[in-house]
Every structure is written in structure tokens, then in C-alpha cells.
Chain A
């Protein structure tokens, strides 16, 4: 019902366009090889002016009523759109394929619905604050009307989020046939990653390196009322947290929902020997840990570092508008 309401609001906005207005130019969204199709709703096509507006809002502190915070305040491009100084912030990478948002999945829905939530509930955006000539012009270009609504702001943010697609790491070049893209350690790490010895791929699978599901990987022995279980109330969900993507993982530390690990080495060491048994521990996880040798742990870290997409974290089209 909520999405229908949102669609109706946007449709009203679109109706403000005159028949003589040219349609906004579509934004080219090339998919990295091997990626699944990207869902783009009919009521929010990705357009050049829509992405430009979304990019502006993402970096614009006018989004918050006190004028102090924008999305980019906690989602830095050089850190793959997360922030080591902000607690528990998941990176904004490939969210176009997610329906579960935040570590405990407290929001489930489409990207548009998630952005509506962010604008209306997290930022509690005051649209009057956005009603300045520069933004009104951008809203007019994107939606055919200078009238600013929280829904249109959210839809523009969703359009920009669809451009935050990362799939050009050395790993991708390796699969494309460039054997030199991964050094020997990373290639050994890749073999481990896709084996039941280290058991990474079942959760961090597909080219997205996440299943976007919830798992208890054994961080704690006492998981009562934590994680997904705190949202659903189901004991079977206790201790389960969303699988983060591993794309650009070398840039997104500290790690886990509570930032308990500072480095990738600490993360891999945990999987090797720190796994705690609890009633909901995933059966994909070896109780007590995978007992990896120091060499295996180093190889896995080398592989994880091969998932850094330098073009993504330096692409000027994703940074602050000029």
C-alpha cells in the first residue's frame, strides 16, 4: 500500500509535465559482467537529471533539518561509501540488488522504499529547507516540477544509489581472463574462498559477494534477543546479522555489526578459531572455527584485498557535485 501511495505521489508529479517537455535523458547503467539484472521500477526510471539530483542530495547537508548531515557524512567514497569513524555503517555498494537493509534487516523493501524511509524517518528532511532555486531547478529537470517532496527526494536518491555499482576489481579482471590480475597468494586465497575448507562462498556468493540474507556466524555464545531476532521476535533469528558484501572490503573496516574487528586479519583469525557455539549458529559454519593455518589466513586476506575496485572509489561521477 505504501508503495502504491508513493507511486501515486510521483505520478502526480509527473503529471505536472507538459506534453511539450522532452522526457529526461535516460542514464546509462551498464552492468558489470556476471551481475544479475538490476530491477528498476517503472515509476522511477533512472535518468540523467534524476541521478544528478540524487547525487546532489546525497552530498547536501540541507537534507537534514539542522543542516549538518548528508548521506555522504557517513558514507565516504574513498571508503567504499562507509566511514570507519561512524559505528556500524554498512557500505553503500550494490544496494540496487538488496531488499534487506541495515545489519538486522529492520527495513525490508525496495530501494525506493528504503530511501523514503531514510528521508522521512532518518533525516526527517524538511522540504522547506530544500526549497532553494538550485534544487528547485534540479527537481524540475528530474521530475517535471519544481515542487519538492520527500518522495521525490527519496526517488532521486534511489536513482543515484543505482549508480553505486562496484564490479571492476582485480578479481573481476581475473575472471575475465587476466591471470596476472591476482598474485599467487590471492589465487590461493580464491581457491580457499570457494572451498568448504574456508566456507566463505555460501554466504558471500554470486558476483555480489553477498546473499543479502541473515546468518549467525558465531560471534557470540549468548545471542538471545540480538540481531535479526530483535526485529522478528523469533528465537531462531537471534544472533543473525545481514551478510555484508565483500566488494571493497579492504576499505570498509572496522568489521561486523559492532565494529569489533579492526582489520581483515582479525576477521579471518576469528573465522579460523574464534567461532562461538550458540543455539542458532549457522550449520554452514564449523563449530570452533575453520582451523586455518597462518599461511591460509594470509592467502584469504590477499584474496579479499583483490576485491577493491579502485575505479569505483575514485570515480568523480560518484563524488560531491562540482
Chain B
């Protein structure tokens, strides 16, 4: 009701700030995991399932953890100097394949925001088999069946909304930052991916998990997003300029981004 608050109000605002911290954990960022049991395709002679597995999401540039900011300390393949401000995305439907060819499929959707620590781990299940792994697979983005406007009703997930005029649903990815253009001026880039006009640009990711084992104490699998690889060989001047400020409405760019995405994820060491 007013912009003016007393010093007493400021004290109470401090309490409010604690509320904000608590808010980040107010709801799970895993969707379809807690609400329904995971879909598990188990071999008939599978050993008792007992271990928990978590995906730990990290974001790298040139192999090192990304430093968020509007400066441009990095260089992509095309030689553009760039920096990163925002990394937000959905991954969904994980499949663990064991060395003995057992598969465990965990259906669900997980939202990741680099700035929200609570989103940087996806606890898949507590009842998974132990043993050495062969691969970890998931979908980058949302499967079309999950990608319907209104499916997410609360932020931050709801803020990934993809405009109905572009087909509706939700962004798969918001990767933003700043680069230095041909005129040596700063220009903001917005690598936003989504289901443009009904075409699904999500894609499967399969990571070699040789050397990773689900032990009795479970496993944390370090999934790395190597941010500069989203650009592939792109010269950012060609994709983010005065005449072409973004790629959301550009089907060719969405397809190219999907192709670049094939190399974006890696599985780090245990």
C-alpha cells in the first residue's frame, strides 16, 4: 500500500528475506517423480533394489565451472568473446543402463536453474540396483506429452512458458549472456530453445557411464553441461544481431541448436 516503511518494517523485512531463502525449497523441482512411482523395467532375476541415485548438474565453460556475469571472459569456437548470465533448462525421463544390460527408466521432469542450488540435483530414486553402469540417458527438454501450456503453475518452472503464439508449452532452455560483436560492441545473446510451432526440438542424450558404479551407499552421477558447445561453430554475429535478436522463432536455428546439443553434455568423474 505504500513505498514508505518504517525502520521496524525494515527489521521485519529481514525476516522476509529469510522467507525468500526458504522459498527456493518450497516445492520440488522434480515433476512426476514424487507424484508417481518411477517406471522400472526390471529383469526377472534382478537383485534386490536398494540404492539411491542422484544426478548432480554442473555447468562448465572450457572445462571449468562457469562464472556468471556480464563480462566476456570466454571465447567460443568461432572466436567470439562471451560471458554467461542465465542457465535454465528442463531435463526429463532418465534411463540407467547397467553393465549387465539391466535398464531402469525413471520417468519425470526436472527443472534446473544455475542460480537455484536446490535445482542442481535430481534425486532419481532410492530403490535402484547396485552395480556398474554402462550409460545414463535422458531427454534434454520436455517430451511433447509433457509440454503443454499450464502444466506448470508455480514459478520458477511456470516462468519457462513458451508463447502460445509460437506453439505453446515451455522453453527447454534459456541460456543467455553477452558477447562482443564485430563492431567491438557488447550485444546480448539469448539461446532459447523450445517446441516451435509444434515441432519438437527436444533430443535424447546418452552418456557413457563406464567406470561409474552404483554402490550400496548409492551414487551421485555428475552430469556436466558444457555451455560453449551449444554454439557449435556458430559465429554469434550471425544469430544475434540487430535484424535477428533471437532464435525462438527461427526453425533452422532451433534445429541447428539441437544438433549442437549432441555434444553439450558429458559425465564427469565419480
Q: Which residues of A contact B (CB under 8 A)?
A: 1-2, 34, 36-37, 71, 74-75, 87-89, 92, 99, 102-103, 106-109, 113, 117-118, 120-124, 175, 190-191, 194-197, 199, 201, 205-206, 211-213, 231-232, 236, 277, 279-287, 290-291
B6 engages A194 (CB within 8 Å): no
For the complex of A and B, list the 8 residue pairs with the smallest distance between their C-beta atoms, beginning with the closest: A196-B246, A121-B9, A36-B153, A108-B16, A194-B163, A283-B176, A283-B188, A108-B20
Task: Name which of B32-40, B154-162, B196-204, B219-227 contacts chain A.
Answer: B154-162
Knowing A191-B165, A283-B189, the reply to whether A75 touches B10 (Cβ < 8 A) is: no
A121 engages B5 (CB within 8 Å): yes
B1 engages A286 (CB within 8 Å): no
A196 engages B245 (CB within 8 Å): yes
8 Å CB contact of B23 from A99, A102, A121, A281: A99
10 residue pairs bridging A and B, Cβ less than 8 Å apart:
A36-B158, A108-B13, A108-B17, A108-B20, A121-B6, A194-B164, A196-B246, A196-B247, A281-B70, A283-B178
A117 engages B23 (CB within 8 Å): no
A284 engages B16 (CB within 8 Å): no
B189 engages A74 (CB within 8 Å): no
- Tell me, in angstroms, the Cα distance from A106 to B70 when the chains sit together: 25
0/1 per residue, B167-203, Cβ < 8 Å to A?
0000000001110000001111110100000000000
- Tell me, in angstroms, the Cα distance from A196 to B5 when the chains sit together: 38
B247: chain A residues within 8 A (beta carbon): 196
A196 engages B190 (CB within 8 Å): yes
Which of A2, A34, A211, A284 is most buried by chain B, counting CB atoms within 10 A of its CB? A284
Interface status of B3 (Cβ within 8 A of chain A): yes
B186 engages A277 (CB within 8 Å): yes
Minimum C-beta distance from A90 to chain B (A): 8
B6 engages A205 (CB within 8 Å): no
For chain B residues 1-49, which have a beta carbon within 8 Å of chain A?
Answer: 1-6, 8-10, 12-13, 15-17, 19-20, 23
**Contacts A121-B9, A284-B176 supplied; 20 other A-B pairs, CB < 8 Å:** A74-B1, A89-B3, A109-B19, A118-B2, A120-B8, A122-B1, A124-B6, A194-B166, A195-B248, A196-B248, A205-B161, A206-B159, A211-B155, A236-B69, A277-B186, A281-B188, A283-B70, A283-B86, A283-B178, A290-B245
Identify whether the interface residues of A are mostly helix, strand, loop, or mixed: loop
B159 engages A103 (CB within 8 Å): no
A74: chain B residues within 8 A (beta carbon): 1-2
Knowing A117-B9, A280-B70, the reply to whether A122 touches B188 (Cβ < 8 A) is: no
A194 engages B178 (CB within 8 Å): no
Minimum C-beta distance from B96 to chain A (A): 34
B10: chain A residues within 8 A (beta carbon): 106
Question: Which residue on A lies nearest to B70, using beta carbons?
Answer: A279
B70 engages A122 (CB within 8 Å): no
B249 engages A195 (CB within 8 Å): yes
Interface status of B73 (Cβ within 8 A of chain A): no
For chain B residues 124-150, which have a beta carbon within 8 Å of chain A?
Answer: 150
- Tell me, in angstroms, the Cα distance from A279 to B178 when the chains sit together: 11
